[in-house]
């Protein structure tokens, strides 16, 4: 696979102007086109687009300044599951012509379809950081994982919370702690065939300050 980028470069120089807030000062620079740098960036883009697994972290330290600024630090360094879209589905892959193709439904995907995903979505295993991938059943269209406590969960097209079977749209709001400690709660939920819309951990209330009811000094 590769990107079709053999067209003639339309310009041999790049001109950039930047301004300070309010436009009080500015700086401009011209740089000559570098074929070596161009090819290196294209190769890097290809390695990201056509790789079947997410790229390596830019740092192993979640406190690294670029990681702290990144909107996806919780998914990369933490235990947050990726959001559902066709780009996070194991059935979908890019094509040389710049389109994305779903192997499960054997179709080219529109931008709108990619953003919403479908009920047959199964996560790319690396995008569920809190569970260890065990197996994939292409006939049943399920993926099985094991969490640190030893319990198994299943990513599937239909929910069955009594046996820890989750659709991707529910699984994106779940983590190992909920599966391990709230099994009874999930089983009770299964009676009503619910959908997990979002999940937010309760905020710890701050310790109240002692009342300022001490008496004033005699000299006041």
Domain range list for the chain: 13-49, 81-190
Q: What predicted TM-score, i.e. pTM, was given to this entire model?
A: 0.72
Share of the chain above pLDDT 90, in %: 36
Between CA 105 and CA 141 the distance in angstroms is: 12
Between CA 161 and CA 121 the distance in angstroms is: 17
Mean pLDDT of the 13-20 span = 86
Between CA 210 and CA 220 the distance in angstroms is: 22
Residue whose token pair is 């994982």: 145
Q: What confidence score (pLDDT) does residue 65 get?
A: 92
pLDDT in tens, 48-95: 888 888 888 899 999 999 999 999 888 889 889 999 999 999 999 999
Between CA 40 and CA 46 the distance in angstroms is: 10
Q: What confidence score (pLDDT) does residue 24 get?
A: 85
Q: How confident is the model at residue 33 (pLDDT cuts 50, 70, 90)?
A: confident
Q: How confident is the model at residue 5 (pLDDT cuts 50, 70, 90)?
A: low
């Amino acid at each position: 696979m590769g990107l079709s980028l053999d067209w003639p470069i339309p310009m041999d120089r790049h001109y950039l102007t930047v301004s300070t807030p309010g436009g009080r000062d500015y700086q401009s620079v011209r740089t000559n086109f570098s074929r070596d740098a161009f090819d290196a960036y294209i190769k890097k883009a290809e390695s990201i687009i056509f790789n079947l697994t997410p790229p390596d972290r830019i740092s192993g330290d979640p406190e690294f300044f670029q990681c702290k600024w990144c909107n996806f630090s919780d998914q990369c360094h933490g235990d947050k599951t990726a959001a559902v879209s066709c780009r996070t589905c194991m059935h979908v892959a890019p094509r040389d012509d710049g389109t994305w193709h779903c192997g499960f439904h054997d179709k080219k995907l529109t931008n709108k379809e990619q953003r919403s995903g479908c009920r047959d979505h199964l996560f790319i295993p690396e995008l569920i950081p809190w569970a260890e991938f065990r197996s994939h059943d292409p006939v049943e269209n399920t993926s099985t994982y094991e969490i640190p406590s030893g319990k198994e969960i299943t990513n599937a097209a239909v929910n069955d919370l009594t046996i820890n079977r989750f659709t991707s749209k529910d699984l994106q709001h779940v983590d190992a702690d909920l599966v391990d400690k709230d099994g009874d709660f999930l089983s009770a939920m299964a009676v009503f065939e619910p959908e997990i819309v979002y999940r937010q951990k309760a905020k710890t209330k701050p310790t109240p300050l002692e009342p300022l009811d001490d008496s004033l000094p005699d000299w006041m």
